[in-house]
Amino acid sequence: MRSPIATTLLDSIRTRRARAGVIGLGYVGLPLAVELSRAGFTTTGIDLDSEKVRAINAGRSYIDDVPSRHVSELRAANRLRASTNFDVVAQLDTLNICVPTPLRKTKDPDLSFIVAATEAVAMRLHPGMLIVLESTTYPGTTDELVLPILQSTGLKAGSDFFLAFSPERIDPGNQKFQTRNVPKVVGGVSSDCTQLATALYEGAIETVVPVSSPRVAEMVKLLENTFRAVNIGLINEIALMCDRLGIDVWEVVRAAATKPFGFMPFHPGPGLGGHCIPVDPFYLSWKARQSGFEARFIELAGAVNSAMPHHVLSLIADALNTLQLSVNGSRVLVAGVSYKRDVDDIRESPALDLLGLLQARGADLAYSDPHVPHLSGAMWPSGSDLTSVDLEAVAPGTYDCVVIVTEHSKFDYEQIQRIGKTVVDTRNAIKNPGAHVMRLGAPRTSRSAASELAPVAV
């Protein structure tokens, strides 16, 4: 290493004497803070949400992927604590920034959280400090935005302090791949920066993958999620095509997946959700436009995916038509409002868009989700506060239509078929569907058959 300060910090990291910090204690920050603590670093989490801070300091986790016993054990060992006060940054040697990066309504990146966090760090920056940005963003953010703010202090990156980017790769609810065993990509603004960030992660993560620059690391994250978004857009368009052709897209995907090379199965659905896949491609296309490049392929996939809630609305209308009912005034229950199976995260969930569309059409709405007991009206368009319905307590035929948006394992799909006079299954969750079940991307049931076999309200 060229810098004496870097050499000292590297030794401190490798011997676990370095004091680690994490800004942002959500789905990314808390698991990282826990892994750093379990690796032997004394770690301080920083978040403006006092409820999160109180929970951690009380030894409790508020994230399903982080067991409370891990937090409790680390608190008892005095290796993990949390604070709402950014002044603790001055006491730290390493700092990971894991704050949200949402999109504005115009689909432009909102970097206000990164700017606020970086400015707070700059006020307390000291020589011999490593800062790693993990928030998903466009290529160039670390160099063009974070670096100038930190260097405005008079300290120089690569010699006085050290800066790198390492994209988060969290997959909430994934039982196989979690923070510790998902490879970590790292790109620093200098070779010393990369080496120091690599050393920090090697203490807590099984595999670290250094790359040549922060821009490469930033682009890695966007490529990963744009790859998924584009392929989901493709299979959603194939599903729409199969709907017109009377072909079952789910059967097509199953058969195509038997090919042992050159094919990776993706599945259609009601739209994209979560903190990454619906957002990241827009970061990439926005940055491309700044360079005079039009990312038409990516934006087309985004348009297809964004339109899926509207397609589901049309399926609901068709299902209700088999009962000679309109959406207006019909009792409709949305089964699953989180963005993916068996998690409680509702960020960007297509269910929220669908609820807004149904509300606008005059439906009498309800929802059920074992992971989301209450849904604030502020979370969905023109919404009102709702409480999850216990499906086991619902009588047969209570709802004119039940729409399966998220295929939670806790759902009783036989019960769902009983309580809905019609059912729209957007996830192919029902394995033995009755004639009153309409599946996204599958041949429509005849109107007469659905009318004859639909449950009757009691």
Contact 182/117 with Cβ under 8 angstroms? no
Q: What contacts 74, CB < 8 A, 6 or more positions away?
A: 34, 37, 38, 43, 80
Distances (CA, A) of 11 to 163, 196, 199, 422: 17, 10, 10, 65
Contact 350, 339 (CB under 8 A): yes
Least Cα distance to 453 among 415, 431, 421 occurs for 421
Cβ-based neighbours of 151, under 8 Å, separated by 6 or more: 157
Report, as residue numbers or ranges, the catalytic residues: 276
Say how far apart CA 315 and CA 322 lie, in whole Å: 11
Q: In what order do the strands lie in the sheet with 184-188?
A: 80-83, 42-46, 19-23, 94-97, 129-133, 161-165, 184-188, 208-210
| Of residues 96, 81, 178, the one with CA closest to residue 131 | 96
The span from the CA of 124 to the CA of 91, in Å, is 9
Read off the tokens for 306: 């964004």
